[in-house]
Amino acid sequence: MGILDFLSGEFIDVISWVDDTRDTMVWRFEREGHAIKYGAKLTVREGQVAVFIHEGQLADVFTPGLYLLETNNLPILTTLKHWDHGFKSPFQSEVYFINTTRFTDLKWGTKNPVIARDPEFGPVRLRAFGTYAVKISDPAKFLTEIVGTDGQFTADEVSFQLRNIIVQEFSRALAGAGIPVLDMAANTGKVSALVAEAIAPTLAEYGLSLPEFYIENISLPSEVEAVLDKRTSMGIVGDMNRYMQFNAAQAMGEQGSGASAGMGTAMGAGIGAGIGMSMGGQMGQQAAHAAGPWGGVAHGQSHAPQGGGGAAGAAPPPPPPPPVEKVWHLAENGQTLGPFGRGQLAQMKTEGRFSRTTLVWAPGQDGWSAAEEIRELAQLFTIAPPPPPPAG
């Protein structure tokens, strides 16, 4: 083998790039000394472009296809000096392959809440996050403005800057859209279009485009969401008085049927005793009405009612029903127990199953509260029994 044949074979003949990654945007063809043989073949696949850089200047951009690298195909290289040897001299140039496909599933989100003015709630703080896709629309501009001389450039290297641009434009679009907070979920497409339109000019300066932009969620602070949930609950309840009456009646029914697993027995017995006393009192009133001043039967009256009797012979009105005892529900291990009466809670306190910090709720009460914060229940923990009598 002659020395000329050896030198001719030292330079690569085919220039190409097969990307086996999912985030590489730019890759530089590496060759020692950046020596490219005159007449070499350049293969550019679909989803790629190749950019030639010669002596620090952009020479040409090749779209998908097969090219033979000669001076007549590269006008800027026609002034290159060839070696005075027996083979075609290589020229010193760099080849950058640029991925023009979409880079999808890139994340964005607001690091701090965005303050917006809502027509119903006034000033509110909003957070949002989503995904987007980016694409290199102008390879030459992207190479000169962003990549520079980086031999391998990935999407992660530019995603941080893109997130800052997105959040800035999202804040402006959200503040100027005038969409109520309660209607945000139904208008995420509109907001997305506004943000994408606002971002497009800035990305064009980098040689990029934003073919996809999605808002996955717009949320209020947790404290505001809790208040909003209460407001929603009030709207669902409707008439508060009727709702409280329904809860009280339902609690009595559950206790009377033993739905509370035996803990409603004491309350059921108390209600039954009250009803019995009421019936006894009613019968006593009727007997006293029929008796004379000396305890006997009134003169001229008989035990049987007389026809045509006036008010003296009318039956007295029935007594009012006994008052409904207030009941509470308990929150334990993420479950709601009860309802329980005050007597049942006192027994549970003695058994160690009810303490000051136990969360309780009763009809008409605004949210859950600790037992020691309820006046009726706080007494269970402050009243102590007297000391026991001495032994013997």
3-class state of residue 248 by DSSP: helix
Mean predicted lDDT score pLDDT of the chain = 75
The H or E element spanning position 290 is helix 265-290
H/E element, 15: strand 14-15
> What CATH architecture applies to the domain 103-224?
2-Layer Sandwich (3.30)
Secondary element (H or E) of residue 365: none
Angle at 185 between CA 179 and CA 190, to 5 degrees: 60
The two tokens of residue 138 are: 């102008």
- 255 CB neighbour count, 10 Å cutoff: 25
Write the pLDDT tens digit of every residue in 99-129: 999 999 999 998 888 888 887 778 888 889 9
| pLDDT at residue 48 greater than cutoff 90 | yes
**Model confidence over 226-265: pLDDT tens digits?**
777 776 776 666 666 776 777 787 787 766 665 445 444 4
3-class secondary structure for 78-107? CCCCCCCCCCCCCEECEEEEEECCCEEEEE
Question: 339: which DSSP letter?
Answer: E
Question: Coil, strand or helix: which one is 260?
Answer: coil
pLDDT surpassing 50 at residue 7: no
| Cα angle 314-319-324, degrees, rounded to a multiple of 5 | 160
40: which DSSP letter? -
Dihedral, CA atoms, 326, 374, 239, 319, nearest 10 degrees?
Answer: 30
Nearest CA to 8 among 34, 39, 32?
A: 39
- SS3 of residue 297 by DSSP: strand
Question: What's the pLDDT at 321?
Answer: 72
Q: Where are the domains of the chain?
A: 3-99, 103-224, 325-384
Contact (CB, 8 A) for 27 and 105: no
Class of domain 325-384: alpha beta
- pLDDT tens for each residue of 15-27: 899 988 888 999 9
- Please, what is the angle between helix 265-290 and helix 342-350, to 10°? 140
Q: Would you state the pLDDT for residue 281?
A: 54
Q: Which of 310, 304, 277, 276 is nearest to 290 (CA)?
A: 304
Strands 14-15 and 41-44: parallel
> pLDDT value at position 131?
94
pLDDT number for residue 255: 66
Q: Select the more confidently predicted residue: 311 or 42.
A: 42
Give me the pLDDT at residue 237, please.
Answer: 63
Integer Cα distance of 218 and 128 in angstroms: 4
Q: Structure tokens of 28?
A: 């530089």
**CA 3 to mean position of chain CA atoms:** 71
User: pLDDT value at position 270?
Assistant: 47
DSSP 385: P
Burial letters 52-74, b for 16+ CB under 10 A, else e: bbbeeebbbbbeeeebebeeeeb
Overall pTM > 0.75: no
**pLDDT score of 3 more than 50:** no
